Amino acid sequence: MPASIEDPGVLLEVRNLKKYFPIRKGLLRKVVGHIKAVDDVSFEIRKGETLGLVGESGCGKTTASRTAIRLYDPTDGAVLFRSHANGSGDGEVYDLATLPLRDMKPLRREIAMVFQDPINSLNPRMSVSDIVREPLRVHGLDLGRETDEEVQGLLSAVGLRPEHMERYPHEFSGGQRQRIGIARALALRPSLILLDEPVSALDVSIQAQTLNLLQDLQEEFDLTYLFVAHDLSVVEHISDRVAVMYVGRMVEVAPKRELYTNPRHPYTEALLSASPKPDPRNPTVRIPLIGQVPDPSNPPSGCYFHPRCQYAEDICRTETPPLMTIGEDHASACHFADKLELQGMQ
């Protein structure tokens, strides 16, 4: 299907993406409802940028990002991806959501993923060399000896030594394992990498090393990142733009500076105020969030955030606010985005 992205600078455009998981009950496993893990989410990732995706656990950030690269089949919506495989200027645009799976395979070379848990995402029976060359083998690019050099190059790019090639994952520390995972993601020279909580399992000092490495690699290999995380300070550090999700929906998207200093959605405001600041003399004034994240199989009416929102009015209980552009490059899904004076961070 011919698809197009208007802006030539956009690498991936997600339009009205939905992913529902059925809830089955009874002897016949009848579908009795759906968990709307991702419910009408739209966003775009521009070439060379890092888009941070934040939200609490269960908000659908992992599902949204995995559906966007077709690790899950979407329930509805479109995912337009600009492929540069043929080397032609603006590249060709494919809709990943509807593409037959056999046509997906060549595109997978351009999209890679790094997982959160560096222990469980590496096969303990494979040597580092095998782990890193596996993507090449799968795509028929493993040329034996020549590939050895390639693998060595990848390992040194992520700061591992050539003698590490024949070792096994258990011989490495958490930070080094994450580097192996990053080297594997780079093996096919992708243009887009989905990083799902890549540093949350790491120690503070290792976290800084890994974040710096990711920034260096982005420059060296001309990469675009979709960075999923819950730590707002990490996301702020690495991202160009940040998107906030709540119960399967996108509530706010803006360039990071703008989002952190001038949030336009009450949930973003609350999230920022909950984030602990390493500055004991200037503690943040917390906006208390009462109660819990609603159950995505039975979300509240209207705006999903209204039961916890201190600014909620009648309209919030009845009407669902769409994600609207409210400023330059700034979108918010709040009825009162223009009227509220929300507190950001200095």
Partner 1 sequence: MATATLDSEVLLDIRDLQVHFDVRRGTVRALEGVNFTIRKSKTLGVIGESGSGKSVTARAIMQLLAKNGSIVSGEMLYNRQRDDSGDSELIDIAQQPSDSQLMRDLRGGEIAMIFQEPMSSLTPVYTAGLHIGESIQLHLKPRQTVGDQMAKAIARQNRIPREEARQIAVEMLDKVGIPRPEERVVSYPHELSGGQRQRVMIAIALSCGPKLLIADEPTTALDVTTQAQINDLMLDLQEEFGMAIMYITHDLGVIAEMAEDIAVMYLGRIVEQGTTDAIFYNPQHPYTRALLRSIPRIGQTEGSRLEVIEGMVPDPFSIPTGCSFNNRCPDVMPGVCDARMPELLIAGDGQRAACLLHDPDTMQEVTRARVH
Looking up tokens 């060595």 gives 152
Stretch 213-272 residues interacting with partner 1 (CB under 8 A): 215, 230-234, 236-237, 257, 260-261, 270-272
Helix-helix angle 174-186:145-157, to 10 degrees: 130
**Near partner 1 by CB under 8 A: residue from 119, 126, 141, 211:** 211
**Near partner 1 by CB under 8 A: residue from 40, 56, 130, 148:** 56
Cβ-based nearer residue to partner 1, 2 or 278: 278
SS3 for 301? coil
**Near partner 1 by CB under 8 A: residue from 212, 301, 310, 318:** 212
Q: How far is the CB of 21 from partner 1 (least distance, A)?
A: 19
Q: Do the Cβ atoms of 244 and 268 come closer than 8 Å?
A: yes
List the x/- string, 173-202, binding to partner 1 by CB under 8 A. Answer: xxxx--------------------------
Cβ-based nearer residue to partner 1, 26 or 288: 288
The CA-atom distances, in angstroms, between 133 and each of 180, 187, 231, 238 are: 11, 7, 31, 28
List the x/- string, 138-177, binding to partner 1 by CB under 8 A. Answer: -----------------------------------xxxx-
Assess 346 for contact with partner 1 (CB under 8 A).
yes
CB atoms within 10 A of CB 310: 11
Contacts of residue 200, Cβ cutoff 8 Å, sequence gap at least 6: 116, 229, 230, 231
Assess 274 for contact with partner 1 (CB under 8 A).
yes
Q: How far is the CB of 39 from partner 1 (least distance, A)?
A: 20
Cβ-based nearer residue to partner 1, 159 or 162: 159
The CA-atom distances, in angstroms, between 260 and each of 62, 237, 242, 256, 264 are: 22, 11, 9, 6, 10
Q: How many residues bind partner 1 (CB under 8 A)?
A: 47
> One-letter amino acid identity for 340?
L
Looking up tokens 């690498």 gives 11
**Near partner 1 by CB under 8 A: residue from 106, 276, 322, 327:** 276
Q: From CA 89, how far away is CA 209, in angstroms rounded?
A: 35
Polymer length of the chain: 346
Stretch 279-308 residues interacting with partner 1 (CB under 8 A): 279-281, 283, 286, 288-289, 291-293
328: left (phi over 0), alpha (psi -120 to 50) or beta: beta
Q: How far is the CB of 161 from partner 1 (least distance, A)?
A: 13
Cβ-based nearer residue to partner 1, 39 or 236: 236
Cβ-based nearer residue to partner 1, 25 or 286: 286
Stretch touching partner 1 by CB under 8 A, among 2-10, 189-197, 207-215, 326-334: 207-215
Q: How far is the CB of 202 from partner 1 (least distance, A)?
A: 9
**Which residue intervals of the chain are DSSP H helices?**
61-68, 101-108, 128-138, 145-157, 174-186, 204-221, 232-238, 256-261, 266-274, 314-318
Write out the residues near partner 1 by the rule CB under 8 A. 56-57, 173-176, 203-209, 211-212, 215, 230-234, 236-237, 257, 260-261, 270-281, 283, 286, 288-289, 291-293, 345-346
